[in-house]
Structure 1
Amino acid sequence: MSLVVVVSASAALDTVMGLPYWIPTLLWVASGALVFHRPTEDRFARHVLKLQRPMPQEAAMLEPVWREVTSRAGVDGQRYELWIDNSQDLNAYAAAGHIVGVTRFALERLPSAQLAAVLAHELGHHTGGHAWSSLLGHWYSLPGRIAWQVSRAIVVFVVSVAGAVSSGAAGVLVVVIGAAASAVTIVLYGLPLVLLVIPYLMAAVERRGELRADEHAAALGFGPMLAEVLTTMHAMEPAAGQTPARPSAPARLLSSHPDYPTRLRRLRPYLDAQG
């Protein structure tokens, strides 16, 4: 659907400016390679993720732990860039092709063994291809998602204006828009309907990636330490000591992370084997 949107926009540029439609389309398709372009990653880390390079004392704490993790995994740790997120949350993340970010809270408060478990989890995202595939998924679906949101906003606005004038006019307009939407869906072989399920599919893929990254860390021998971190994060989740309300089914389906009990349950076979 995004490709349809990009080609249509490119064709409009071709009509107005004489720019061959295939040039913007080709540039958009090729732009995904920037996920692995180090200078672009650096700008992405600094300006989008708001990360900072580790200070010397932070690097002295972080790099030995990272070396242990990458040594166990049998990968070259220098392939990846370590960054600091100036946050007081217990968190870390992998992004793009080579970014590993750790919050300052995690770096300063977690014992080395637990920090190693967190970094092993993030390394699992990179070695499993979760980080770059997730970013590419969001990037390439962006034109389609924007087109859907703009179209929906326009329809809501037009129907609201028609409803203010006459309820009959609003009803007729809804029928006309529905017929037009059905015709477009048929012409495009049902592709617009995919936009309705894409957020749920992407969230499901991300949840699976989280479980795979947990398994990666556990397979390297960090299962007990990772379970300790997840238990701590689960305990920190309720606000002001109150038990949070159970999220609705759509909210759970749109969540990018499985709930903590699920993650801990999936780690149990590794804990039993290592115990």
Structure 2
Amino acid sequence: AHPHHISTDARRIHLSNQQRRTDATAVGSLLLHLPNFLCSLFVVGLVSAFFGDFALVVILLWIASGALVFHRPTESALARHLLRLRYPTPQERAKLEPVWREVTARAGVEGRTYELWVEDSDSLNAVAAAGHIVGVTRFAMNQLPNGELAAVLAHELGHHVGGHAWSGLLGYWYALPGRIAWRVLKAVSTVAFHVSKAFGCFGVAFVVMLVGGLAFATVSTLYGLPLLILGVPYALAAVGRRSELRADEHAAALGFAPMLAAVLDKLHRQEQYTQAEVTARNGGVPVEEGALSRLLSSHPDHHTRLHHLQPYLQPQRPY
């Protein structure tokens, strides 16, 4: 038997009183999305002005729409169309469910609360999304020993029980109007700039002054709040890296630390292989990752994750 094979025999499940919580990283994510939410609220407020007496109703409906994050049909649509997931086949379900029962039994969590989905991908990956979705790639399901698959699922369960999945999606949802408005403004500014070039330097200067004046007026009116948005992606990435470490610790605390370390090694080799391909396409010259790219990374590097697993990998001293 593989050293990372685990027994999945049926056992009694002791359910914890606290099925979910909102840890510090989930709270941090929500707070960091606050500037985006306020900017989106401003955009929705401007749009709602076209509805006259129903303007307040439009704003309230948009605020209430955040409940869709926990709406099962909406989650299913999200899984299919955005995450490219599908329901597992009966054969896949027979492989996944015993492992999932083992993971949730160790965690004291009601496994039926969540839905298992599959991504048709030949890479090693998994995802926790919305309030109830746990997705895993076909490669991870078929190529990993069941103990390592359990470690992957336990990691994703850690994102759910810690509140990382729903808080991240909720923040993204409320940031959408602001994102859309920014893209529209960017596209209009680009078109205006190209048109102004036909009128020479005077036209370009006029467009630059107009856009700059609007930007300054917006920043001044909102007490500099839009400037905070420039730093939000970096802060959210830092919180995201912390949530990954929290999910790793959740899986390790359930007894899957050696299996998770093996999965991280495989992920590291997968990344090295991808980097080698990029280097080969670049004529043998390595493509260095910039400092800003590292700050925007949503996952900690391989060595950081292994370092945080060390306390769980050390042999326990007898008392």
- TM (norm. structure 2) is 0.80
Is residue 142 of structure 2 the alignment partner of residue 108 of structure 1?
A: yes
| Conserved? CA contact 1:144–1:195, under 8 Å | no
Partners of 2:256 and 2:250 lie apart in 1 by: 9
Range moving further from structure 2, 105-114 or 231-240: 231-240
1:57 to 88, 91, 113: 91
Partner of 1:206: 240
Instruction: Using the TM superposition, give the Cα deviation of residue 24 of structure 1 relative to its aligned residue in structure 2, in angstroms.
Output: 1.6
Deviations 1:203-250 (A, max 9, x none): 222222111111111111111110100111110113467276331122
Q: Which runs of 5+ in 2 are unaligned?
A: 1-38, 280-285
Partner of 1:261: 303
The AA in structure 2 aligned to 1:4 is F
Partner of 1:76: 110
Partners of 2:74 and 2:196 lie apart in 1 by: 47
Over 3 Å counting, the alpha-carbon distance change for 1:186 and 1:274 in structure 2 is: farther
Over 3 Å counting, the alpha-carbon distance change for 1:135 and 1:160 in structure 2 is: same
Deviations 1:146-168 (A, max 9, x none): 21222122223222322332123
The AA in structure 1 aligned to 2:106 is R
Partners of 1:248 and 1:108 lie apart in 2 by: 35
Partners of 2:108 and 2:194 lie apart in 1 by: 60
Partners of 2:137 and 2:316 lie apart in 1 by: 28
Instruction: Using the TM superposition, give the Cα deviation of residue 274 of structure 1 relative to its aligned residue in structure 2, in angstroms.
Output: 5.5
| Conserved? CA contact 1:117–1:217, under 8 Å | yes
Q: Which runs of 5+ in 1 are unaligned?
A: none
Partners of 2:272 and 2:142 lie apart in 1 by: 22
Partner of 1:148: 182
Instruction: Using the TM superposition, give the Cα deviation of residue 135 of structure 1 relative to its aligned residue in structure 2, in angstroms.
Output: 0.7
The AA in structure 1 aligned to 2:229 is L
Partner of 1:124: 158
Structure 1 or 2: larger helix share?
Answer: 1
Instruction: Using the TM superposition, give the Cα deviation of residue 260 of structure 1 relative to its aligned residue in structure 2, in angstroms.
Output: 1.8
The DSSP-based 3-state class of the residue aligned with 1:154 is helix
Partners of 1:266 and 1:75 lie apart in 2 by: 24
Partners of 2:233 and 2:84 lie apart in 1 by: 25
The AA in structure 2 aligned to 1:264 is L
Partners of 1:165 and 1:157 lie apart in 2 by: 13
| Conserved? CA contact 1:96–1:132, under 8 Å | yes
Partners of 2:227 and 2:187 lie apart in 1 by: 17
1:1-275 equivalences under 5 Å are: 1-14=39-52, 20-239=54-273, 242=276, 245-272=287-314
Deviations 1:93-126 (A, max 9, x none): 1001000001111000000110010000000000
Query: What percent of counterpart residues are identical?
Result: 59
The DSSP-based 3-state class of the residue aligned with 1:158 is helix
Instruction: Using the TM superposition, give the Cα deviation of residue 195 of structure 1 relative to its aligned residue in structure 2, in angstroms.
Output: 2.8
Range moving further from structure 2, 91-100 or 28-37: 28-37
- TM (norm. structure 1) is 0.92
The AA in structure 2 aligned to 1:10 is S
The AA in structure 2 aligned to 1:54 is P
Partners of 1:125 and 1:249 lie apart in 2 by: 27
| Conserved? CA contact 1:145–1:195, under 8 Å | no
| Conserved? CA contact 1:94–1:125, under 8 Å | yes
The DSSP-based 3-state class of the residue aligned with 1:20 is helix
Partners of 1:111 and 1:85 lie apart in 2 by: 18
Deviations 1:23-46 (A, max 9, x none): 121111111111111222222222
